[in-house]
Structure 1
Amino acid sequence: MNGQIGDRLHVHGNVVGQADRMGEIIEVRGPEGAPPYVVRFDDGHETLVYPGPDAVIEPREQVTR
């Protein structure tokens, strides 16, 4: 799993009734885009994340000009 600043981290809920969590990667601490990541979740909470198998990185959209 490789991420870049600005990518979105989507963590799927793994318990019935648990909502998915979405956040933006604001810092990459591993080598060459590897975890861990500092993530700012949509509720404003920032934390260090080591994503598990229930997480997906969604690349930021590339702006073409």
Structure 2
Amino acid sequence: MKASVGDRLVIESLHLDGPRRVGIITALYHGDGSPPYFVRWLDEEHETLIFPGTDAHVEHRAEHGAQV
């Protein structure tokens, strides 16, 4: 998994019809874009350092066209 600042990190729910978490990657821990990432969660007012698991994927900024 590789990401850039401004990409979205999406974590799918482990439960059927459960909510997914979406956050904006605000900083990289490694310059090559590999995890962990600093993420600002859209549904909460905080930022965390996260090591994404197999339930997560990156939506690159160009894919979603969002501005940060």
Question: Which interval holds the TM-score relative to the shorter structure?
Answer: 0.7 to 0.9
Q: TM-score, normalised by structure 1?
A: 0.85
Give the CA RMSD over aligned residues: 1.4
Spell out, residue by residue over 1:6-57, the C-alpha distance to the aligned partner (whole angstroms, 9 max, x if none).
0000000112453100000001102400000000000222100000000010
Paired with 2:60 and 2:45, the residues of 1 have a C-alpha distance of: 20
Q: TM-score, normalised by structure 2?
A: 0.82
* Unpaired runs of at least 5, structure 2: none
Determine which structure has more spread, i.e. the larger CA radius of gyration: 1
Runs of 4+ in 1 over 3 A off after TM superposition: none
Say which SS state the counterpart of residue 32 (structure 2) adopts.
helix
